[in-house]
Structure 1
Amino acid sequence: MPTMRIAHVTTVHPRYDIRIFRKECVSLAAAGYETYLVVGDGLGDELRDGVHIVDIGVAPSGRLARMREQPRKALQMLRRLDPAVIHFHDPELLRIGVRLAREGRKVVYDAHEDVPRQILTKQWIPAPLRRPLAWLFERYENSLVRRLSAVVTATPHITRRFAAVQPLSVSVCNFPLLEELSAAVDGGPRESAICYVGGITRTRGIRQLVSALALVPEVRLILCGSFEDAALEAELRAHPSWSQVEYLGQVGRAEVRDVMARSRAGMVTLLPMPSYMDALPIKMFEYMSAGLPVIASDFPLWRDIVVEHRCGLCVDPTNPRAVADAIRSLLGSAELAERMGAAGRTAVDRQFNWPHEEQRLLEFYRTLAA
């Protein structure tokens, strides 16, 4: 059994983040690695599921202050822990990653997102600045990543991008844990409802989805997540179709399972933004794991998955009528919805699941150790 000490680091994500803690860290600890997770939330240290969680303290208010102070404190903690491998999850930690790599340590960057493409959709960045900032960040990110030991990414698309600058690049997709949402498959009778679980933003098609509800007045939307900003929340609450929305706010994993058990379809109608076109949205696969047919944006990559596995319908996410037609088709035919939901669950059982990706992660760590 391996006894190598490793440390995952995040100063942005919550300590029980699904990808970082529940999947990667817990899997590595179960495989015998002495696993630490360095976080900055002020909740203190703890040992959970075999993972030593070490807290460097709550972040200061303000984005710039956080980006200045938290990496410095994380660096001090990592030097005290002295792990053989440092695996960090935030772009703002790249500079300390390079510093540690110069000291001869094995440093891994976990790229959850294609950040340059994300910058193109950031509403808080003035539109004329987005493209030049994305260009600059991509060159900055590439220049630092090539000095590290390896890159782990959440999609094959991001892996291909980094492979040009970092030979040891591997994709470990953020697919569902098999058992987590399975209770939703055998739950009670489903309601005349669809669900959306995730960040509620303009670019994720929430306006079009709420507008589509007016065309299917018999259907409710169970909405879970945090709004991008107060202005978007006020706009949607003022929409005539908001009366068909059951808004639950930010919910835990048990509540997510219950919401999926109540619903008849899962919505993932993100708008055609550069950062979404080649993404593999975890929510789509979680809907599938819960036995829900999906209504997904008609992007080529997503269409290949949905059509091949016959697990839902693809629509133009910018067209509320197209979204409404898909909702009507699935909720109007219990047999069709049940067949597509079962097909999605089978696809997750066979292919799109964390146990498969866990083996890729463990093989990567064996390669890194060698």
Structure 2
Amino acid sequence: MLTTTHRPHDGRIFEKEAKSLAKEHDVTIIAPSDAGSFGEDGGVRVVAVRKPASNLLHPVTLWRAFRACLDLECDVYHCHEPDALLIGVLAKYLKGKQLVYDIHEHWPSEIPFDLGIRNGTPAQRALSTLVSSVEIALTHLAESTFAVSESVAARFRERGFEPTILSNYSIADLDIPYNPDRNGRNLMLMAGSMQSFHGVGKCIEAVCRVRERYPDVSLTLVGNVRENLDAGIGGSGESGFITSTGFLPYRAMYEKLSEGTAGLLVFQPTYYNISIGLPNKLFDYMLLGLPVIASDLPEIRMVVNRADCGILVDPSSVSDIADAITYIFDHPEEARRMGANGRQAVLETYNWSRMEADLLQTYRSLSTTSSTME
């Protein structure tokens, strides 16, 4: 497993894919970290390559990841970003191994955003075209592909690829707290690293409005809050009803979320990758029986409507978000019903065990192909 941007214990890469593959294979994750280290966790070997403090030195991270790849003996390089795929291609041909590309995002829109290039500008369009062309060319050199959703897979299907869909469904058989009789008015908003597109500001404004009717409402931000957002929260006089947990380990995250009465997922569709997103946190809320207040975006809408597990809102409208929160508090029985629906949908349909079966079967096919070639 090779990632150049995700942390070593990422929810999708480590908790789901690597631990699932470790049931049948020896698995090593190479990932960037603030400090380089080696170790084993949950049957998975973790090699953390030290990343520089500045993002401008990202090529140094790539070089260190490439060196780590060459130092390890493996049969398959499973890559999670376009630059990781480039490293995987080089390692594949230097060492004669197989290559898997795992497509988490719509990278032609994600990479310009990450670089601070404004959406819709000539520079953004040019870089988007370049990223797409290079990514497709490198993907032709992979033996197999995965995609996080049908929307993300669409661009590849148009070019003749058939990615296996591995959605960010929750691990339903975890021993996690579940309380069907929720009390209180504690809203949850979760993100690994909170950015402006997570709608934190909109949610704070909405909660302020709701407090006029329900003064005991609180908002818990589960995850790291970026400095520019943290300054706004800390200076607003709202700290009494807004708390931030910082990064939490996997189980601690679930324990904190279980204290909530509803989950907020108000992605702002500021660029294309956000518009088609289907994030882990939606299914995590559902697994815990939290009714969701979610952005009315294509992939999210399909799940929420099918499961009847929450309320869809215009994420740009503070009034829409506030009205949805108020409805949840005004109708506690309906909120419990939606939460129960969401949990049942995860247990029956949106659970990782279904994805694990497809992941393992794809790797069995790779093993068969490798044996045939030998």
TM-score, normalised on structure 1? 0.89
1:11-32 Cα offsets, whole Å, 9 max, x none, are: 32222111111111111111x2
CA distance in 2, matches of 1:210, 1:181: 32
**CA 1:77/1:243 → structure 2, altered by over 3 Å: closer, same or farther?**
closer
The reply on whether 1:206 has 2:173 as its aligned counterpart is: no
Structure 1 residue 362: Cα displacement: 0.6
Q: Work out whether residues 175 and 354 of structure 1, in 8 Å CA contact, stay in contact via their aligned partners in 2.
A: yes
The reply on whether 1:141 has 2:141 as its aligned counterpart is: no
CA distance in 2, matches of 1:11, 1:117: 18
1:309-345 Cα offsets, whole Å, 9 max, x none, are: 1100001111111101100111122111111000000
Structure 1 residue 268: Cα displacement: 0.2
- Equivalent residues in 2 for 1:216-255 (5 A)? 216-217=210-211, 218=214, 219-228=217-226, 230-239=227-236, 241-255=238-252
**CA 1:326/1:210 → structure 2, altered by over 3 Å: closer, same or farther?**
same
Tell me whether 170-179 or 155-164 shows the greater mean CA deviation.
155-164
SS in 2 for 1:12: coil
CA distance in 1, matches of 2:234, 2:253: 22
Q: Residue 293 of structure 1 corresponds to which residue in structure 2? A: 291
**CA 1:189/1:292 → structure 2, altered by over 3 Å: closer, same or farther?**
closer
TM-score, normalised on structure 2? 0.88
The reply on whether 1:20 has 2:13 as its aligned counterpart is: yes
Q: Please, what is the CA RMSD of the aligned residues? A: 2.2
Aligned with residue 37 of structure 2, among 44, 48, 64 = 44
SS in 2 for 1:34: coil
Q: Residue 89 of structure 1 corresponds to which residue in structure 2? A: 80
2:79 maps to amino acid? F
Identity of aligned residues (%): 28
CA distance in 1, matches of 2:242, 2:281: 19
Q: Work out whether residues 145 and 166 of structure 1, in 8 Å CA contact, stay in contact via their aligned partners in 2.
A: no
CA distance in 1, matches of 2:315, 2:102: 30
CA distance in 2, matches of 1:248, 1:158: 31
CA distance in 1, matches of 2:283, 2:82: 25
Structure 1 residue 167: Cα displacement: 2.8
**CA 1:227/1:318 → structure 2, altered by over 3 Å: closer, same or farther?**
same
Structure 1 residue 44: Cα displacement: 2.3
Structure 1 residue 144: Cα displacement: 1.5
Q: Residue 371 of structure 2 corresponds to which residue in structure 1? A: none
CA distance in 2, matches of 1:86, 1:271: 34
Unaligned stretches of 5+ residues in structure 2: 369-374
Q: Residue 100 of structure 2 corresponds to which residue in structure 1? A: 108
SS in 2 for 1:9: coil
Structure 1 residue 240: Cα displacement: 5.5
SS in 2 for 1:221: strand
Q: Residue 148 of structure 2 corresponds to which residue in structure 1? A: 154
SS in 2 for 1:46: strand
Tell me whether 287-296 or 203-212 shows the greater mean CA deviation.
203-212
1:325 maps to amino acid? D
Q: Work out whether residues 79 and 100 of structure 2, in 8 Å CA contact, stay in contact via their aligned partners in 1.
A: yes
Tell me whether 203-212 or 154-163 shows the greater mean CA deviation.
154-163
Q: Work out whether residues 178 and 289 of structure 1, in 8 Å CA contact, stay in contact via their aligned partners in 2.
A: yes
1:187-226 Cα offsets, whole Å, 9 max, x none, are: x753211110113221221221111112210221111222
1:19 maps to amino acid? R
How many residues are matched? 358
CA distance in 2, matches of 1:122, 1:50: 33
